[in-house]
Structure 1
């Protein structure tokens, strides 16, 4: 399952989930491995770093063009079709695809070489405070497409005095050797809409006349057009009422359907107004969690049922927001956030880099590709209300500032409808606070340093105001403490569940009663594995143990503390 709904009714799509042949380089043994899955799930590869090969046979029943889509391969992928390399991709957390023309009916071989080693060429996947697993870790699919197909659609909702509008941008691709003429049409179809009491109701579909047109595309070219459409009294998306609609696009030729694309959209508008973030004109206070994609027995290849469990637990604690630390998330989880009304801060992939790592020759290009792929593929999710970059990187340096400025500019060129931010830990030294729309800081008062939370927070905010953050919204993007599940201590010593609950409670009492702060994100939702390299000495069990649940999702005492505090304040 690539998404939580069908994205095609005309285009034939075959999911590639199942058991694949697998060989690890340097090992003659043959394996059968699950896709999606992590190689670390196999007893022979519990902590393996290396390159390996996934192989499977596929059958095509008619001559066609093939589009292969991979939602995530960790961390470097080389894909071969019938022995020919067709695409190379870097980054475990962003999707990629490739089109193969003129594939004949019959049997074919698909091979994927994966590599999760830390090498000089890998600027973003490095030893870190989370684990870099290996494998085809997210879903994949094979699609059969015609000469012209719908490559992408972007939907930007606009709130106006006369009701809701949307800017729609559609990209079509002609992959044939000749000119092609097709007809395009589209409609908006209710999926999940609710009345004022929260009950599911039916709605009416509506044709989108502005999309209906005949289009001629030259050989090997793309056709891009944008239009603005008025939708009147559709129901808006919000945390309380996450109303969702299907945007259905259809291509036809000589009256016969040839291709389609279905995405799900919501009508909501995000703006920054002074110190506030507004959603549909109303102030937003984010009560959230930082969440890594990591589970004790499946690594980062989390199945849908465990994503749903995570969502259920977070919402039981009265959370309304989640931060996808520190990389773009599996799109099924974003679909779930859309459905549940969970606000999302999604960020690109770079965490805790000093200037030396930011000056890796591949850093800029790999960051640029990650941002491009994140926004290109996740643009339509109404739950995403903030784009983030470069968590805890070298924002105190002139060279670092140039990289922050470049990445903010890239995001704004791709999407002006959402505010930007970055979580800083460069306290009193950050020189980049004037660049984002929202200022966010990570502060572990009571854990790494036993300091007064209120005085430390006030000093931080005063410095932010003097250093480029005046009249901007402020979010506390990380705070918390570590605890080993099951370790209790009557004296509430550090690493005990009692001390973790105390520290989280004390922090929330300060932050949630401060009108200068418009959101808080507990670090973190669940314990996660970290790389032994560079981290074993400061992370007991080679895990980041600051979760309010452990890696098996067993609640610690802090679970009920967060539930109480999130339910008590900022309702």
Structure 2
């Protein structure tokens, strides 16, 4: 799944900006058939919810409509013409004029719609995108929709972040030649000072394939021909955490000696493996230190913002982090491109959150007694998750920053039926990408005795809230619970890391007694966890929940969202951020005490 980029044979027009906008209850039955009858306009890329002062729009459940007029460049005659949506949350239908030209389900992965037969070069057309934010038992993530007494729809879901929706990432009109490269897959390795870059190129149409690998100075370092091959790179420069080095793999499709298509794929040469209880990058033990994050900012919601991207990475560098997890969905590809260039290590996660009927907005309340089965989470959900895994790996397989796939967050892996549901998903992920380890994040009540799927995975990733949801305010008891919990996983012989731990913290709240919600308590809780982590020889990483405060659904236990961030939602540091900086800048990418 190639990201559209301008090349000597490809062009694009960015369609970001202000579009016409309406919710389904305020327009007719076929709003795409004419200019939208609406006074509203909406910014793209951005979630629509917080852009308006109207609560009916913020809380809307169902279809919304985006529309704008698009002109096709006159030089595109004879080309294939497509529209690329980097994301549409959670389902989309695309119309060129009156014609339905494409559909997609899944809110965080991109899709292309071929409109060649519906538009003309130098002409214009009306583009309408219908976006549906509903979550059901058949979607990933899941949810339930009910009809209220006044006939409106009400959405309930089981994850603790707001269900922002719309066109949160960029939209592009782009062209490709009739015969063109459709996909590139790279694999890398090295022996001594010689690097290896394996490649596989898929094309549509006829032609001869030539590939050239160039270093960062632009010099050619290796070349090959044919759709599949391996290049040797003398004196290879490795992609390393905190020290990224990227090569360009230039792929050319030629017919009769003439250039038909060209695409450049960046390549970072590095290896990743799990060996015993160690996680290795380039054969060296790696210790994760960082965060679970969210794509979440004021006004934009989940809308991608380059300024926040740059600033967040600056804060990650300032605090001494070397990694983060894309909790709980694939982030914008621009984020991974940036991580590739800056040596940030990524655990890349699907949108499979909320597959646990005992969780309501992050806190167990009893709820349903069973998660897996035809009447709850069944075959349709499993098929949807399989498609999410396919699209995630297809999009992100070439990013050197991505070192591990996280297939699920906090599932009911302690319940009967979980193995039958997840084992085919694990098998699919390994078939699609045998080069990376896989993991999932275990919920609090899935433990070493009752979990039914942990043996399928390479790394044990724990979400634990001792001192917050369990024994809140009592760090002495929390420490003993944490120490016993981590000790219980030793028998599995796998690396263990913490993918969530932390405490809600109201900025500006202080106490000499480390009371919950105070900044002092957040710092003390983190220090306690770190003291225990450093005792465990098979422990390979710590990722705090969360990088920054984020918006959540309505609930009496949340005040303006989840406050577990080391930074506020507008990126101001709390005391916990300073505590993390003191720790993380005191050691490198290896476990404390082993540097």
TM-score (ref. length: structure 2) = 0.85
Could you say which residue in structure 2 is the equivalent of 1:456? 481
8 Å contact 1:420–1:436 — kept in the other structure? yes
User: Is residue 2:442 matched to residue 1:424?
Assistant: yes
CA displacement at 1:366 relative to structure 2: 1.4
Aligned counterpart for 2:168 among listed residues 137, 152, 157: 137
Compared with structure 1, are the counterparts of its residues 409 and 361 closer, same or farther at alpha carbon in structure 2 (3 Å cutoff)? closer
User: Is residue 2:278 matched to residue 1:281?
Assistant: no
Could you say which residue in structure 1 is the equivalent of 2:35? none
Q: Where in structure 2 are the equivalents of 1:289-308 lying within 5 Å?
A: 289-308=291-310
CA displacement at 1:514 relative to structure 2: 2.4
User: Is residue 2:525 matched to residue 1:503?
Assistant: yes
1:440 alignment partner, SS class: strand
Question: What RMSD in Å do the two structures reach over aligned CA positions?
Answer: 2.1
Deviation string, structure 1 residues 1-47 (Cα, Å, up to 9, x no partner): x97x9553321122211221212111253322111111112223334
Deviation string, structure 1 residues 245-285 (Cα, Å, up to 9, x no partner): 12221223334332222221100000111100111111101
CA displacement at 1:203 relative to structure 2: 5.8
Higher alpha-carbon deviation: 88-97 or 282-291: 88-97
Could you say which residue in structure 2 is the equivalent of 1:182? 207
Q: Where in structure 2 are the equivalents of 1:362-373 lying within 5 Å?
A: 362-373=380-391
Q: Where in structure 2 are the equivalents of 1:40-439 lying within 5 Å?
A: 40=49, 41-44=51-54, 45-60=57-72, 61=74, 62-102=77-117, 103-105=119-121, 106-126=123-143, 127=157, 128-161=159-192, 163-174=194-205, 181-191=206-216, 202=217, 204-209=219-224, 211=225, 213=226, 225-354=227-356, 355-356=370-371, 359-425=377-443, 426-427=446-447, 428-439=449-460
Distance in 1 between residues matched to 2:222 and 2:78, nearest whole Å: 33
CA displacement at 1:207 relative to structure 2: 4.7
Could you say which residue in structure 1 is the equivalent of 2:576? 558
Aligned counterpart for 1:445 among listed residues 466, 470, 474: 466
CA displacement at 1:186 relative to structure 2: 1.9
User: Is residue 2:544 matched to residue 1:522?
Assistant: yes
Could you say which residue in structure 1 is the equivalent of 2:512? 490
8 Å contact 1:75–1:125 — kept in the other structure? no
User: Is residue 2:50 matched to residue 1:34?
Assistant: no
Distance in 1 between residues matched to 2:79 and 2:43, nearest whole Å: 28
Distance in 1 between residues matched to 2:138 and 2:385, nearest whole Å: 13
CA displacement at 1:376 relative to structure 2: 0.3
Compared with structure 1, are the counterparts of its residues 307 and 260 closer, same or farther at alpha carbon in structure 2 (3 Å cutoff)? same
CA displacement at 1:65 relative to structure 2: 1.9
CA displacement at 1:463 relative to structure 2: 2.6
Distance in 2 between residues matched to 1:113 and 1:95, nearest whole Å: 15
CA displacement at 1:67 relative to structure 2: 2.0
CA displacement at 1:104 relative to structure 2: 2.6
Distance in 1 between residues matched to 2:250 and 2:460, nearest whole Å: 37
Number of aligned residues: 533
Distance in 2 between residues matched to 1:283 and 1:272, nearest whole Å: 9
8 Å contact 1:453–1:507 — kept in the other structure? no
Could you say which residue in structure 2 is the equivalent of 1:217? none
CA displacement at 1:367 relative to structure 2: 0.6
2:511 alignment partner, SS class: coil
Higher alpha-carbon deviation: 544-553 or 55-64: 55-64
Compared with structure 1, are the counterparts of its residues 517 and 538 closer, same or farther at alpha carbon in structure 2 (3 Å cutoff)? same
Deviation string, structure 1 residues 338-394 (Cα, Å, up to 9, x no partner): 112111101111123225376244311211111111100111110111101111101
Compared with structure 1, are the counterparts of its residues 346 and 156 closer, same or farther at alpha carbon in structure 2 (3 Å cutoff)? same
Higher alpha-carbon deviation: 555-564 or 8-17: 8-17
CA displacement at 1:161 relative to structure 2: 4.4
Deviation string, structure 1 residues 59-85 (Cα, Å, up to 9, x no partner): 222243212211111111111123221
Deviation string, structure 1 residues 83-124 (Cα, Å, up to 9, x no partner): 221221112111111223444332222211011133455341
Distance in 2 between residues matched to 1:184 and 1:384, nearest whole Å: 27
8 Å contact 1:49–1:117 — kept in the other structure? yes
1:316 alignment partner, SS class: helix
Distance in 2 between residues matched to 1:63 and 1:56, nearest whole Å: 24
Deviation string, structure 1 residues 320-343 (Cα, Å, up to 9, x no partner): 010110111111111111112111
CA displacement at 1:55 relative to structure 2: 1.3
CA displacement at 1:125 relative to structure 2: 4.7
Structure 1 alignment gaps of length 5 or more:
175-180, 192-201, 214-224
